[in-house]
Structures are given as C-alpha cells and as structure tokens.
C-alpha cells in the first residue's frame, strides 16, 4: 500500500486556515477532505462545504506540478484505498479494457460500410465532442471520490441510480462477452493440428451440401445454370452450397438449433472452455489492482505484436492492395446518411467503454493529484489509432480471401463473430502454414478479450465492495466477492453453451449494452455533473485551465450530441416494432 503525502506547497497553509474556519474541512494525517468523502461515503457538497475559491484548494486532476490537495487516508472505520504501483499500470489497464474485440472486428467493417475514409470525419468529430470529454469525466470522478461507479454519485445522491445502472450494464457485459473468449479458446485449441478442421468437408459434422471451392466465376452466365462446375454440383445447386468453415461454426461449435424455443443439450467441450476462461479471469482479478496492473502489461501489449506480424504477412499476399483500398476509399455521399453518424457515435461509446462504470473504478485507484487530463488524450489516441490500424490488418487478409475465391470483397467482409469465426479462419486456411496463423490470430483474440473481461469484472467488484465500508472488513472479502461474481456469471453463461445458446447471446448483445443504452447513460452523467452538481463546483476535481472547454461540452455539446443521436436512431428505426 502506498502512502499519499500532501505536497509541500502553500496548499497546506491554505488548508490549515480553512480548517480553522470550517470544521467540515478536516485534516486526516495530511489529507484535505473528510475520510468518508474520500471513500465516496459522503455527498461531495459536504466535503467541499464553503468552498468557492478557498474551501477546496486543488483538484483531482491538477497534475503533479499543480497545487492539489491529496487524500492520504481513509480515516477511522475505513480501509485505506490501495493505489496503482506506478501510473503506467493504470494506463495499461485502461488500454486493456477499452481496446478490445470491437476495435478489430467492428470498426474496420463500419469504416468500409460507411464510406471508407469519409467515416473518419464523423468518427473524429464525435471523439472530440463526446468521447474524450466523457472518458475524462468518468476517470476524474473516480479519482476524486476514491470510489467505484455507485458511491461516486454521492455528488448528487438523488441520481445514485446512475451508479446502479452502470453496474447492471457491466454485469450483463461480463456475462455474455466472455462467450466470445470461450469460442476463441475453442478455436485456439483446434488450431494445433496439421490440418485445420474447418478447411475440409471430410468431418462428421459436414453435410452433403458442403463444398470447399465454389467456382462462382464459372456461373456468372445464367445459361450455365445446369452445368456441373464443382464435383457433381450444378450452378443451380451451388447457390445452396455451404462452406466447411460455416458448417464447423454452426454444426460443430454452436450445434445451433432452429430457435430460442429449442435450447437442446449442452456442448460439454464449449462448457469446459468457458470454465477455463472464467478461472483465468478469477486469478487475474482476485488480488486487486496490484496484480491486475502487472498482468495487463502482457495482455494489452502482445496483441499489438500479433497485429504487426499479421499485417506484414497480410500485405505480402495477392489481393491485399485491393482490400486495403476497399477499406479506405472515400465515398462522400455517405456523409448525408444519418446511419453513418449513428454508427460513429455508438462505436465510440463501445470502444471507449463509456457508461460501464469500469473507468470510474480504475480511476479511483489513481493518486489524488494524477494528471488524468493528459491520460484521457493518450488513451483516446491509442484506442482510435488501434481501431484504424486493425483495419489494414483485416482488409489485407479479406482482399486476399476475395482474390482467392474470385468474388468481390463485399461478399467476404464481415463484422463481429462473422469476421472472427468465419471470414478470418477461412482466410488463414488458404495460407501456407495455416495452423500457425490461425493459432496467432485466436491467441490475439483471446488476449484482446481477456483484459477487457477481467477489468470489467474488477469494475463491478469495486462498485460492490465500496457499498461495504471498513467495519465489514474481512481478510478474504475481495477474493470471496470475485468468486461469487464469476460463479454467478458462469451459471448464467450455461444457457449460452446449449444448442440455442447463440440466440441467448444475441439477446444479451443487442439489448444489455446497446448503443442507445450507453448513450442514455452518458447523457444523464453529463446532466448530473453539469446541471445538478453544478459547473461552478467542478473545479473541486478539475483545475487544469484548458479543461474549461470540457466543461462547456459537458453542459451543452454532449447533451445536444446525445439527443441528436437518439433522434436519428429513432428515425432510422421507426418501422421496428418492439
């Protein structure tokens, strides 16, 4: 546990004078705020009573060179909150959480679908208008209040439901997101063979309709409808043929039923993979940020090594140039479509992990005067840069795949699980030394999702433990809480390893943490900070002069942005009957 000492500055003298004038401003071994406020157990208005310009001396994000009061202890009845061993632990944890599967399998597809390079215009605009300010807000609140996503809203107790809402959202995300890791782990195990099981039609799960090479180019002329082009199949029959990778995904991995009303039996192999992944998550989180901060150095950085290796391999393949140009070629007509702006906004909220409460939890372990303003920009640059870079990796491979099959790239471009478990495995099966590239890809997929998963669990557990102050102290309180969380999620996940599990997964994916859910959460966060708590009080946790622009965005621009997205979303989906 690291002690946080009050910096030697005029802040100490000012604080002493203020303490004499106002007994509500306490000194607890060098701290400048009441211990309960430091732990998120007092309304912030009480902690800064009579502040104005003198009641509170500094801000949580003042930075090491700014004059900021530092919280040093938790006071009687409260455990002192642990902090990151070094600030880079926090940076890497945020990178691991925010940079995930969506950067690799969702952004590149959205970019190509919404006008290529043109998509970067709405994307970057919303990054600076909405993404970075809210990202900064959540970290700064956690850092100042030294609390997780529930107690941090003691700044406005009437809206504490925002904290509970974020806990519900992140719990649902933790529950279904790990299924992607279980599938990736399953594919990783199956990659350690001389012949990839999804590359041929000679397996027990394949059907008579399975075909390895389609020869679409031979069927472009309608007069050849009854000509045999592949084995004993005619062009007419070729339209109903299925590739071995799709049959491996649907018949072997998922063993999917016809609908949600037919859950069927469990896939025991997938259940074992799920159990292994949950055990990994548990041992990454159970000891708190001291251990988590070390693990992310590997889980957050190694995927970049794999991405670079895959890019070098991808650009040397035939068809890679066409794929990359398909990815970045601008289509200016797309800028006028509302769906493009909706996709840009929802992607930012997804990839920046806004509204989930985990950023608040991570920020709460920062030193009180850490410069989180700079951190917010660095993390945003890493996040968005990774998304753009991953597009070159993905589309160089898809360009090769389209060239090999003789089809247009639009016919092989996928997003989400379709890219990870159908398009990319098909592409690597066409490469020399296919098992090596398959193993690298799925190992990267596992690491990308693993750090996002265990940091999400950390955020949820932090919020729960903050509800139980020091008087409920138990030596193994954290270990027990993490175990209960993982076990409960695992039990719910058992419904997703059945034959109808994919339908349950899609329900969670679409409704539990959809773009509108996160948008609505962020909207109310800004309303509470800017209009309920009041912009005149935000200097208590933000003192950097250039942050005045952020204050204006919290008060007006983000609110207008969220409402605009909400209006566009309802307009685009007005024909959908819920």
Angle at 24 between CA 19 and CA 26, to 5 degrees: 55
Interatomic CA distance for residues 568 and 82, integer angstroms: 43
pLDDT reported for residue 165: 92
Out of 45-59, 92-106, 272-286, least confident range: 45-59
pLDDT reported for residue 33: 38
Phi, psi of 248 (to 5 degrees): -65, -45
Interatomic CA distance for residues 200 and 273, integer angstroms: 24
pLDDT reported for residue 20: 35
Tell which wins on pLDDT, 150 or 469.
Answer: 150
- 316: buried, middle or exposed (CB in 10 Å: 19+, 13-18, 0-12)? exposed
- CATH number, domain of 406, equals 1.20.1740
Q: Is residue 316 part of a domain?
A: yes
> What percent of the chain lies above the pLDDT cut of 70?
73
Q: Is residue 222 part of a domain?
A: no
Asked if 144 contacts 331 with a C-beta cutoff of 8 angstroms, the reply is: no
Which residue reads 């041992």 in tokens?
283
pLDDT reported for residue 215: 57
Interatomic CA distance for residues 566 and 519, integer angstroms: 8
427 is in an annotated binding site: no
Closest CA to 376 of 543, 139, 143: 139
- Token couple for 190: 């199956």
Phi, psi of 541 (to 5 degrees): -125, 0
Q: What is the pTM of this model?
A: 0.79
User: In 10 A of CB 531, how many CB atoms?
Assistant: 13
Interatomic CA distance for residues 499 and 488, integer angstroms: 21
Averaged pLDDT, 182-190? 94
The helix, strand and coil proportions of the chain, stated in percent and rounded to the nearest 5, come to 65, 0, 35
Q: Is the pLDDT of residue 442 over 70?
A: yes
Alpha helices in 368-514 (DSSP H): 372-405, 417-418, 424-429, 434-465, 477-493, 501-511
User: In 10 A of CB 290, how many CB atoms?
Assistant: 15
Domain that holds residue 461: 89-207+242-575
Tell me what the pLDDT averaged over the chain comes to: 77
53 is in an annotated binding site: no
Tell which wins on pLDDT, 304 or 8.
Answer: 304
Q: Is residue 233 part of a domain?
A: no
pLDDT reported for residue 510: 83
Length of the chain: 578
Interatomic CA distance for residues 116 and 110, integer angstroms: 8
Q: Is residue 71 part of a domain?
A: no
Give Cβ neighbours of residue 557 (< 8 Å, ≥ 6 apart): 129, 130
pLDDT reported for residue 56: 38
pLDDT reported for residue 14: 34
333 is in an annotated binding site: no
pLDDT reported for residue 83: 82
Out of 223-237, 356-370, 458-472, least confident range: 223-237
> Coil, strand, or helix at residue 573?
coil
pLDDT reported for residue 281: 93
Looking at the DSSP assignment, which residues form a beta bridge with residue 233? 230
Interatomic CA distance for residues 70 and 73, integer angstroms: 9
Interatomic CA distance for residues 197 and 248, integer angstroms: 8
pLDDT reported for residue 397: 87
pLDDT reported for residue 537: 66
Give Cβ neighbours of residue 524 (< 8 Å, ≥ 6 apart): 159, 162
Angle at 396 between CA 391 and CA 401, to 5 degrees: 125
pLDDT reported for residue 3: 39
Asked if 379 contacts 296 with a C-beta cutoff of 8 angstroms, the reply is: no
Q: Is residue 21 part of a domain?
A: no
482 is in an annotated binding site: no
pLDDT reported for residue 35: 37
Closest CA to 513 of 462, 576, 460: 460
Out of 146-160, 260-274, 413-427, least confident range: 413-427
Averaged pLDDT, 151-156? 89
H or E segment to which residue 470 belongs: none
Q: How confident is the model at residue 94 (pLDDT cuts 50, 70, 90)?
A: confident
- Token couple for 544: 């950097």
Averaged pLDDT, 554-566? 60
Tell which wins on pLDDT, 181 or 426.
Answer: 181
Averaged pLDDT, 1-22? 36
98 is in an annotated binding site: yes
- 127: buried, middle or exposed (CB in 10 Å: 19+, 13-18, 0-12)? buried
Averaged pLDDT, 314-332? 88
103 is in an annotated binding site: yes
pLDDT reported for residue 367: 86
Q: Is residue 523 part of a domain?
A: yes
Averaged pLDDT, 210-219? 65
The number of helices, as runs of H, and strands, as runs of E, in the chain is: 26, 2
Measure Cα distances from 459 to 147, 166, 233 in Å: 10, 10, 54
Looking at the DSSP assignment, which residues form a beta bridge with residue 210? 242
Q: How many CA atoms lie within 13 A of 308 on its CB side?
A: 5
Out of 69-78, 133-142, 270-279, 391-400, least confident range: 69-78
pLDDT in tens, 339-356: 888 888 888 888 888 888
Give Cβ neighbours of residue 464 (< 8 Å, ≥ 6 apart): 148, 167, 481, 485
Averaged pLDDT, 503-519? 83
Give Cβ neighbours of residue 384 (< 8 Å, ≥ 6 apart): 123, 124, 127, 351
Q: Is the pLDDT of residue 467 over 90?
A: no
415 is in an annotated binding site: no
Asked if 382 contacts 307 with a C-beta cutoff of 8 angstroms, the reply is: no
pLDDT reported for residue 538: 63
Q: Is residue 336 part of a domain?
A: yes
pLDDT reported for residue 168: 93
Tell which wins on pLDDT, 483 or 23.
Answer: 483
Tell which wins on pLDDT, 13 or 361.
Answer: 361
> What percent of the chain lies above the pLDDT cut of 90?
20
Q: Is the pLDDT of residue 173 over 80?
A: yes
Q: How many domains does the chain have?
A: 1
Interatomic CA distance for residues 450 and 343, integer angstroms: 25
pLDDT reported for residue 214: 60
Interatomic CA distance for residues 324 and 321, integer angstroms: 5
Tell which wins on pLDDT, 75 or 428.
Answer: 428
Tell which wins on pLDDT, 101 or 241.
Answer: 101
User: In 10 A of CB 82, how many CB atoms?
Assistant: 13
Give the 3-state DSSP-derived string for 170-182, with helices as H, strands as E and coil as C: HHHHHHHHHHHHH
Tell which wins on pLDDT, 461 or 238.
Answer: 461
Asked if 90 contacts 292 with a C-beta cutoff of 8 angstroms, the reply is: no
Tell which wins on pLDDT, 519 or 365.
Answer: 365
Q: Is residue 248 part of a domain?
A: yes
407 is in an annotated binding site: no
Averaged pLDDT, 513-537? 79
451 is in an annotated binding site: yes
Q: How confident is the model at residue 422 (pLDDT cuts 50, 70, 90)?
A: confident
């Amino acid at each position: 546990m690291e002690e946080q000492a009050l910096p030697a500055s005029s802040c100490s003298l000012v604080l002493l004078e203020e303490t004499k004038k106002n007994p509500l401003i306490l000194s607890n071994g060098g701290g400048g705020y009441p211990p309960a406020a430091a732990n998120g157990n007092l309304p912030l208005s009480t902690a800064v009573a009579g502040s104005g310009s003198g009641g509170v001396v500094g801000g949580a994000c003042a930075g090491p060179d700014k004059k900021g009061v530092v919280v040093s202890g938790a006071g009687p009845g409260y455990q002192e909150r642990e902090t990151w061993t070094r600030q880079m632990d926090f940076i890497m944890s945020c990178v691991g959480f925010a940079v995930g599967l969506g950067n690799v399998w969702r952004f590149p597809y959205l970019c190509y679908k919404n006008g290529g390079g043109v998509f970067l215009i709405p994307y970057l605009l919303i990054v600076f208008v909405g993404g970075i300010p809210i990202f900064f807000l959540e970290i700064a609140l956690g850092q100042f209040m030294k609390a997780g996503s529930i107690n941090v809203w003691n700044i406005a107790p009437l809206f504490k439901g925002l904290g509970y809402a974020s806990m519900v959202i992140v719990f649902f995300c933790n529950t279904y997101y790990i299924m992607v890791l279980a599938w990736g782990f399953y594919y990783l195990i199956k990659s350690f063979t001389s012949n990839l099981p999804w590359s041929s039609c000679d397996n027990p799960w394949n059907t008579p309709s399975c075909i390895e090479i389609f020869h679409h180019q031979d069927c472009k002329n309608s007069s050849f409808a009854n000509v045999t082009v592949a084995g004993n199949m005619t062009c007419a029959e070729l339209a109903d043929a299925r590739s071995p990778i799709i049959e491996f995904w649907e018949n072997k991995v998922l063993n999917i039923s016809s609908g949600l009303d037919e859950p069927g039996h469990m896939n025991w192999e997938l259940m074992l993979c799920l159990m292994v992944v949950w055990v990994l998550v548990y041992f990454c989180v159970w000891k708190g940020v001291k251990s988590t901060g070390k693990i992310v150095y590997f889980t957050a950085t190694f995927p970049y090594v794999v991405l670079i290796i895959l890019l070098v391999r991808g650009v040397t393949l035939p068809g890679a140039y066409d794929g990359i140009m398909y990815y970045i070629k601008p289509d200016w007509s797309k800028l006028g479509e509302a769906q493009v702006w909706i996709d840009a906004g929802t992607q930012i909220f997804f990839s920046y992990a806004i509204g989930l409460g985990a950023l608040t939890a991570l920020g709460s372990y920062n030193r009180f005067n850490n410069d989180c303003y700079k951190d917010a920009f660095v993390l945003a640059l890493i996040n968005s840069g990774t998304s753009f870079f991953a597009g070159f990796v993905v589309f160089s491979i898809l360009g090769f795949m389209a060239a090999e099959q003789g089809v247009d790239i639009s016919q092989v471009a996928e997003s989400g699980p379709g890219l990870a478990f159908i398009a990319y495995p098909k592409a690597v099966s066409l490469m020399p030394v296919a098992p090596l590239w398959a193993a690298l890809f799925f190992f990267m997929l596992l690491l990308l999702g693993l750090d996002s998963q265990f940091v999400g669990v950390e955020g949820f557990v932090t919020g729960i433990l903050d509800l139980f102050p020091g008087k409920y102290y138990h030596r193994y309180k954290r270990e027990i809480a993490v175990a209960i969380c993982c076990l409960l999620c695992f039990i719910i996940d058992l419904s997703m390893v059945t034959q109808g599990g994919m339908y349950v997964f899609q329900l969670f994916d679409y409704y539990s943490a959809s773009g509108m859910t996160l948008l609505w959460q962020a909207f109310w966060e800004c309303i509470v900070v800017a209009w309920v708590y009041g912009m005149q009080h935000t200097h208590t946790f933000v003192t950097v002069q250039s942050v005045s622009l952020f204050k204006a965005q919290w008060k007006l621009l983000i609110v207008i942005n969220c409402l605009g997205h909400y209006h566009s979303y309802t307009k685009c989906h007005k024909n959908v009957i819920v």
